[in-house]
Structure 1
Amino acid sequence: MTTPAGSHGEWLVVIDAQVIFADPQTSQWGSPMWAAAVPRIRTAVEEYAERVVFTRFVADPAPQGSWVDYYREWPFAQLPDADPLYSIVPELAPYTKDASVVTAPTFGKWSALREIVGNTPRLTLAGVSTDCCVLSTALGAADAGATVTVAAGLCAGSTPEDHSRALSAMALYGPQVTVV
């Protein structure tokens, strides 16, 4: 990025940059791609300045419907909101002091983001995992009329192959979703 995109009315959404997703040694959900993405995300956060939103995934303490089966399969993730594994990673945590932070027990964060960024914003998405929460947020936002750019180099997938597949799927939604 060469100019602060935030100055053009765009928002940077850093999706689920949490300890639980940052390192495969930390949890079953850790991305092997995270270490390479986080310095690039930090640079983008500085460029977007006040137009940054961080999201956090947390377990619903009383899951319903398909979430019951989900947590039966992934019981390690059913932690309380305040558990340190659900914290924003230390490399990005200082930036949350001046940014909005959206916390939700869903993969897609569009419903909660809309309250901050408006109904039809221009969004640039970064974060983890490309093949789950980034994908879910991108499609929900685009379906609602947002213009979405997925910054591939600022995203980390659960595997490089799943990252690539998710980027390819999101590219099918052009022009509402653009992968760069």
Structure 2
Amino acid sequence: MSGFDLPWLVVIDPQRIFADPSSPWCAHDFEAVVGPIGRLSERFGDRVLVTRWLPGSEHPGAWADYFDRWSFADRPDDDPCFDLVDAARGWSRRPGLDLTTFGKWGPQLAGITGPTPHLALVGVATDCCVISTALAAADAGAWVQVVSDGCAGSTPENQAAALRLIGLYSPQIEITSSSDLLG
């Protein structure tokens, strides 16, 4: 399986809006995933990509309803709440990928990793952006691993539910741990 030869670590949305306990979108256990992600980023070296979710200025279709519900997040893209957390600033040597979608798989990411890469996904939230990325990448033919201790869900229950759902997609998507990846 050639896709497993040179994996890419994709760090999904390690941003203040998901780390700040006062944020409605604070991911449960965000702080607990910082250590595993840091260790993985050291090992993956130049094959680390960090993404950010941004609201963008236009909200077509269902996004209009989304921002009606979550109006606190409808801010300019340069609002400090969308900044990376301090720890994430050194995780990648490459420019970050800023996207206005939950799922990060698409032309920008595929343009860097190739069309059918091996991806190891970490970040937040497991039950939103991580699962959206995993499913789209697997549909496109990527080999995907979701690093359970490198991901944080919106709540412990949603984390468990997301991992159960992800587990249904084997062999395209596998659940692993940071210690297994680090060998």
One of 52, 57, 60 as aligned partner of 1:61:
57
Under a length normalisation based on structure 1, what TM-score does the superposition of the two structures give?
0.92
- Which residues of structure 1 form unaligned runs of 5+? 1-6
Give the CA deviation at 1:92: 1.3
Q: Secondary structure at the match of 1:150?
A: strand
Unmatched tracts of structure 2, length 5 or more: 177-183
**Correspondence for 1:39:** 35
Structure 1 position 24, deviation (Å): 2.3
Partner of 2:142: 146
Q: Kindly provide the amino acid, as one letter, of the partner of residue 16 in structure 2.
A: V
Quick one: which of 8, 12, 33 aligns to 1:11?
Answer: 8
Which of 109, 114, 118 is equivalent to 1:118?
114
Among the aligned pairs, what percent are the same residue?
45
TM-score normalised per structure 2: 0.91
Q: What per-residue deviation string (whole Å, max 9, x for no partner) do you get for residues 27-72 of structure 1?
A: 1001121011111111111110100000110002011000000000
Work out whether residues 58 and 103 of structure 1, in 8 Å CA contact, stay in contact via their aligned partners in 2. Answer: yes
Task: Report the counterpart of residue 75 of structure 1 in structure 2.
Answer: 71
* 2:97 equivalent to 1:102: yes
- The question of 1:86 aligning with 2:107 is answered no
Q: Is residue 174 of structure 2 the alignment partner of residue 178 of structure 1?
A: yes
1:162 equivalenced with 2:158 (yes/no): yes
Q: 4+ runs of 1 displaced by more than 6 Å?
A: none
Q: Number of residue pairs matched? A: 172
